[in-house]
Copies of this chain bind each other. A is one copy, B any other.
Amino acid sequence: MATGSGQFPTMHPVSGFKLGTTSAGIKTPGRNDLVLMEIAPGSTVAGLFTQNAFCAAPVTICKQHLASASPRFFVTNTGNANAGTGEQGIADALQTCETLALAAGVDSNQVMPFSTGVIGEPLPMDRLLGGLPKALANLSEQAWSEAADGILTTDTRPKGASLKYPAGDAQVTITGISKGSGMIKPNMATMLGYVATDAAVDSELLHRALRLANNKSFNRITVDSDTSTNDCIMLVATGASGVVIDESNFEQFVEQLTQVCLELAQAIIRDGEGAGKFVSVIIESAVDSAEALAVAYTIAESPLVKTALAASDPNWGRILAAIGRAGVNALDVNLVQLRLNSVLIAENGARAASYSEEAGQQAMQPEDIEIRVALNRGQATETVWTTDLTYEYVSINAEYRT
């Protein structure tokens, strides 16, 4: 199950950024599972990584390589997360970098490795290394769609976003792909996301832009509250457009980048495991952002709220109960207002006088649901996106070995 049309967008190539995809036989035979990305010399690269203490071996290596060199290649395998693999996992990730570096004529710390799939199994190194030459031969600036497909695991759809915006006399392109469907509550970034732009952005600004965009997109989604061991989001700036980002046009760049990241993050929620609803949880008039997020995530992660959503049941008592346990200091429940798709459901600690069960039922029918809570005690607003909890979620996760 999934929500929305799932149409894959037109992907504008980013000059200086190439992608090559192949099948190395790690996943189901015939399915693409190995993706290379080549970054032109002189580009800048920013990355954000999972905060899970049991982070995967490739995450550890990615951080070391990003700190010590200018990345020239990303290599991603699916079907195996290379997580929970101890010292062997580290050795395998390093060998992958070394083998690719040798074939491509770069230093091995200019290669960043990424893995996604089953946790706790050793990487099938023979197959992985054997696939590298084919992927290298496939590299092309046009190949975003194949790469978006090649990085998927339990996802049912490829996820992409792309835009161009005018900057002075020139144009800036931002294009990205992501994957993720379960074990989704990114804590820095989603399972895997790659975004490239042809703007010229120095390293410090690029990191700042990625953190800002990430905090309004990937860091605002949850399918099942489970932060993955492999989350990474990478941003590459090739500079090929000639547009230099500085403090004067930084805000515009972040706005456009956030748009791309938001589309990629929301695509993950639309394709969340077993998803029958796309749910925006909007908390308004909180004291601060942390308070708004605490309430939003308590609602978004409540199994009782999520099963009610699956049944299209306007079960507002469960939403009030979630708000009430979110740890808000001295919450005056009489000030709280709750709306479902703009129907006022509850206020003054009880059902709204204007509410009818029919109106509530009707508000819950659409695939896209907005849960809007006004705390009426401050100025902060935050939005979090999530899915419902369906039989299909249980079925997928009782049968799939993460």
Q: Which residues of A contact B (CB under 8 A)?
A: 51-55, 81, 83-89, 118-120, 182-183, 185, 187, 224-229, 301-304, 307-308, 310-311, 313, 315-318, 320-325, 328, 331, 333-334, 346, 348-351, 389-391, 393-395, 397-399, 401-402
Which residue of B is nearest A331, CB measured?
A: B53
**Neighbouring B residues of A224 by C-beta, 8 Å:** 302-304
**Neighbouring B residues of A398 by C-beta, 8 Å:** 307-308, 310-311, 313
Cα distance, A331 to B54, chains bound together (Å): 9
Which residue of B is nearest A322, CB measured?
A: B226
Does A53 contact B324, Cβ atoms closer than 8 Å?
yes
Cα distance, A308 to B224, chains bound together (Å): 14
**Neighbouring B residues of A118 by C-beta, 8 Å:** 317
Given contacts A226-B322, A304-B182, A325-B52, contact A350 B85 (CB under 8 A): yes
Instruction: State how many angstroms separate the Cβ of A342 from the closest Cβ of chain B.
Output: 19
Given contacts A351-B120, A394-B389, A398-B307, contact A227 B325 (CB under 8 A): yes
Which of B87, B89, B226, B399 is within 8 Å of A325, CB to CB?
B226
Cα distance, A316 to B118, chains bound together (Å): 11
**Neighbouring B residues of A225 by C-beta, 8 Å:** 301-303
Does A303 contact B84, Cβ atoms closer than 8 Å?
no
Q: Which 6 pairs between the two chains have the least Cβ-Cβ distance?
A: A119-B317, A86-B350, A54-B324, A311-B398, A307-B397, A52-B324
- Starting from the known contacts A85-B349, A228-B321, 17 additional A-B residue pairs (CB-CB under 8 Å) come to A52-B324, A52-B325, A81-B317, A84-B350, A86-B334, A86-B351, A119-B320, A224-B304, A226-B325, A229-B317, A229-B321, A303-B389, A307-B394, A307-B397, A308-B398, A308-B402, A391-B395
